[in-house]
Amino acid sequence: MAQEWQVGGKHFLITGGASGLGAAYVEAFLKLGAKNVAILDINEKRGKEFAAKLSETYESKAIFIKCDVSNEEEIKNSFEQVLTAFKRIDVIINNAGVMDDSIDVWRLSCDINWQGLVSFTRKGIEHMRKDKDGSGGTIINISSTAALTRVDILPTYCGSKAAVLHFSRSLSSQEFYDNTGVRILTLCLGPTATPLLDNIEPKTIDQKFSKSFLAYTTAYPYSNQSIESAVTAFVKMFREGNPGSVWLAARDRTGQDITSVLDEAENVVKNIVFPSDVPAYAK
């Protein structure tokens, strides 16, 4: 029987945890027995109110820490605050994200979706790794189906989420897990019924071009999954996901491990980049 990872007694840190899917993940893990949860978010009012509500509902400790994940100093300070409060971090969920390719926001979007995630991942690894006296742990990086297929009106968003996917897969070899005890998981989320998709046209790279694309999606709508379905898939991935695995959550399905599909696709490309007549040592 495959190993099942447990939630009970674990200390969680989640970015973008004050609303939307992040807040839903927080509640799901508290219900499953998480010991402590640190909610990091830029929205201080909402975050404090949410943490206070959780503290009234659950015996577990929920704290809020204001953090702009595009700011390295705030990332560093927030991480240290969580360690001071909990002494240990077992699970990091890099959930904070922005979908905005507009001329004034695209760079910030990349900083949030990509660079902030890398920073938290690296800090988490250094804290958790067993080969440096850590206790091991799990880091979950949220990517998107936009990393798997093109979305013509949001190329910057697609690029940042593809970077998350490739970073996580490149990092999480079996050797890495054997040495560190840190399990890296990646979740590719399909369109979900959250405010992220609200008023999307001004956030596209070219509003003139986007009108025809959006007209097509209106005529042939892609089914947005419910938050509940996304959370169910997320929890399934946490419990069952092998180190380095990539999961898909879309269209209200229960969550699918797509690692073997991506491995097969990568091997096709590898055979083109490194043909069979290239010596093995050069591959």
**pLDDT of 79-113, one tens digit each?**
999 999 999 999 999 999 998 888 999 999 999 99
Q: Which among 25, 58, 157, 216 is annotated as catalytic?
A: 157
- Confidence at 276, pLDDT banded by 50, 70, 90: confident
Q: What pLDDT sits at residue 199?
A: 67
Domain ranges, ordered by start, for the chain: 11-274
Q: Which of 3-12, 135-144, 223-232 has the highest mean pLDDT?
A: 135-144
Q: Clarify whether 157 is annotated catalytic.
A: yes
Average pLDDT, the chain: 90
pLDDT at 2: 61
pLDDT above 70 for 192: yes
Q: What is the DSSP string of the chain?
A: -------TT-EEEEET-SSHHHHHHHHHHHHTT-SEEEEEES-HHHHHHHHHHHHHH-SSEEEEEE--TT-HHHHHHHHHHHHHHHS---EEEE-------STTTHHHHHIIIIIHHHHHHHHHHHHH-GGGT---EEEEEEEEGGGTS--TT-HHHHHHHHHHHHHHHHH--HHHHHHH-EEEEEEEE--BSSGGGTT-GGGSS-HHHHHHHHHHHHHSPPPPBPHHHHHHHHHHHHHHPPTT-EEEE-TT---EE-HHHHHHHHHHHHHHHS-TTS-GGG-
On the question of pLDDT at 282 being above 80, the answer is no
- % pLDDT > 70, the chain: 87
Give domain 11-274's CATH number out of 3.30.70.270, 3.30.1600.10, 3.40.50.300, 3.40.50.720: 3.40.50.720
- Residue 32 pLDDT greater than 70, yes or no: yes
